[in-house]
Structure 1
Amino acid sequence: MILRRSTRCTALLVVPAALTLGISVPAMAHDGHVAGDTTKAADGDTYQIDLAQLNDSGASGTALVSVEGDKLTVKIEAEGLVPGMPHAQHIHGSTDGHDFRCPDKSADKNGDGIITTAEGLPMYGDINISLTTKGDTSKGSGLAVDRMPVADKDGKLSYSRTITVSQAVADHIKDLHVVQHGIDPNGNAKYDFGKGKSELDPKLPQEATAPASCGMVKGAAVGSMPVGGVETGSGSTEGVEAPGLLAAGGAAVLAAGGLFVLRRRTRPASVRHDS
């Protein structure tokens, strides 16, 4: 992953449903991050995040994120995702000193070949922001699949949105990272129950909520932002509390009219929404 700083830029960024886990993980250092680093992000700086596959998903992409005051702009260009299917995406991590990171294969505790959302959370941390296309962006919208971007017929996804965030997020955006969800291990271009039920909602396949890609801010300066058919919007991180997450997520799936049905969707990846 590469870090790029710019004093002028609109920005970009993205990621699965959140489990309300009271995780207390000691801060630790890892490549590209320093545990306990108190350096705050400078207003107007832009950071690039390279998204790398998880669960052998074949997914990859680039996210750009920038902050101006309390406005966070996130732009993502991704490919290799499940065609025609919604992909939950979030900003994960900590703003209070814990040094979370993208999970490696050691996160697969039961050895079934899939890092589930529950197995990955202790490494990549809880949801800070749900990267929805419109409306609420709190972690309470982690399973709001009717408001998550949809990959096109070629498995490509474009996303752009400006979101109101807390001062803590604005100050510590360098410590956060993006996770996208939704995998297709059996290669049939749909979400099915081949890997069992999701631990987030038994009505959903594990494939629908397992992480597909993850990226962290890291490295040297970069150049241009991702380009593509992206639209902009705005939202707020206020208004939804975590305790009702799973219930809200299940309701969102039903309200979406069965977005996670066992068939392919052919909806454009770029979703236009109002501020």
Structure 2
Amino acid sequence: MIVKRTGRLVVLAAVPAAVFLTVGLSGPALADAGKAYQIDLAQLNGSGAKGTVMLSLKGRQLTVQIESEGMVPGQPSAQHLHGSTKAHDFHCPDASDDTNGDGILNNTEATVDYGDINISLTTSGSTEAASGLAVDRMPVADKQGKISYKRTIPVGQDVVDSIKNLHVVQHGIDRNNNDKYDFEGAGKSELDPKLPQEATAPTNCGEVKGAAVGSIPVGGIETGGSAPQGASAPTATMAGAAIALSVAAFGAVTAARRRVSAVPVRKNTTGGAA
């Protein structure tokens, strides 16, 4: 009886750490693990604006964090996720898209490359495409021309499935370098004659670099919408480690069982087991 009981203890002792670790990762932790995508914003229209964007998906909740600089100080910046969820090939434009040759890449010219608005990255309220020009709900650059933006937005499954095909565009240039949007710099916007062209022309654009790269920009501020959720990069490495440990534990269990079955059971003189 002593030999058998010891064998059972060996089997049980080999299980807990790996099994509990595997259960912890393969349960809700893995199911809820999100995906993160990085975008580097590059200037358009000679704006000098640049930045970094992190798109973090957790289920159908999309957290967008933007840190950009070189924007027009004290002015709102319309910003959007552009592109298609229907496998169309859109990308960031360049100066060659200035088809009318006026020296300014306006939004209509650029849309040929980066596609229509999919999500308006407003600070509050609707994020539908119809809010694309809601400049009163767009982030405002500080005195140094920097923008920090963070918002979590519920999205459809089509956005989740096509997130790598979407890209971020910020708008607003200062053609005559007077630190404001005015009609003298570039005339009226082709989108809305009540707005200066400077307010709607794209200032930068960026495409998704890849999955789970980089880290969330530091210094972002909550600017509205539902409670922000931190980005959660895929836990494939941890899961792999857990699986390896689980396999090792299984091997240990099997080996222990074999050792137990291999130990001869002594019999007493009356024929019963000792």
**1:200 and 2:191 aligned:** yes
Per-residue CA deviation, residues 170-210 of structure 1 (Å, 9 max, x unaligned), is 11111100000000021111111121100111111100000
1:236-275 correspondence runs (5 A): none
Q: For residues 196 and 86 of structure 1, what CA distance do their matches in structure 2 show?
A: 18
Deviation at 1:222, TM superposition (A): 3.1
Is contact 2:38–2:211 with CA below 8 Å preserved after alignment? Answer: no
SS of the residue 2:96 aligns to: helix
- Seen in structure 2, the aligned counterparts of structure 1 residues 103 and 87 have a Cα distance that, compared at 3 Å, is same
The letter of the residue matching 1:218 is K
Name the counterpart of 1:60: 50
Give the gaps of 5 or more residues in structure 1.
1-6, 8-41, 236-275
- How far the C-alpha of 1:219 sits from its partner, in A, is 5.1
- Say if 2:28 is the partner of 1:45: no
How far, CA to CA, are the matches of 2:219 and 2:50 in structure 1? 15
Q: Please tell me whether Structure 1 or Structure 2 has the larger radius of gyration of its CA atoms.
A: 2
Match of 1:108?
Answer: 98
Q: Deviations over 1:110-130 (max 9, x none)?
A: 111111001011100000000
In the alignment, the residues of structure 1 paired with residue 148 and residue 95 of structure 2 have an alpha-carbon distance, to the nearest angstrom, of: 27
Partner of 1:216: 207
> Which residue number corresponds to residue 112 of structure 2?
122
Q: 1:110 to 1:164 in 2, by over 3 A?
A: same
CA distance in 2, matches of 1:68, 1:217: 17
In structure 2, the CA distance between the partners of 1:95 and 1:229, relative to structure 1 (3 Å rule), is closer
Structure 1 counterpart of 2:190, one-letter code: E
1:215-274 C-alpha deviation (Å, 9 max, x unpaired): 001258633211114115326xxxxxxxxxxxxxxxxxxxxxxxxxxxxxxxxxxxxxxx
**Which residue of the partner structure matches residue 70 of structure 1?**
60
Q: How many residues align?
A: 195
Structure 2 gaps of 5+ residues are 1-24, 26-31, 227-274
* Structure with more of its chain in helix, by fraction: 2
Measured at CA, do residues 230 and 210 of structure 1 come closer, stay the same or move farther in structure 2, by a change above 3 Å?
same
Q: State the TM-score, normalized to the length of structure 1.
A: 0.68
The answer as to 2:118 corresponding to 1:152 is: no
TM-score, with structure 2 as normaliser: 0.68
Q: Provide the alpha-carbon RMSD of the alignment.
A: 1.7
Instruction: Note if contact 2:97-2:109 (Cα within 8 Å) is conserved in structure 1.
Output: yes
Equivalent pair of 2:37/2:211 in contact (CA under 8 Å):
no
Of 103, 122, 125, the match for 1:135: 125
Distance 1:229-1:169 versus aligned 2 partners, 3 A rule: closer
Distance 1:173 1:232 in 2: 22
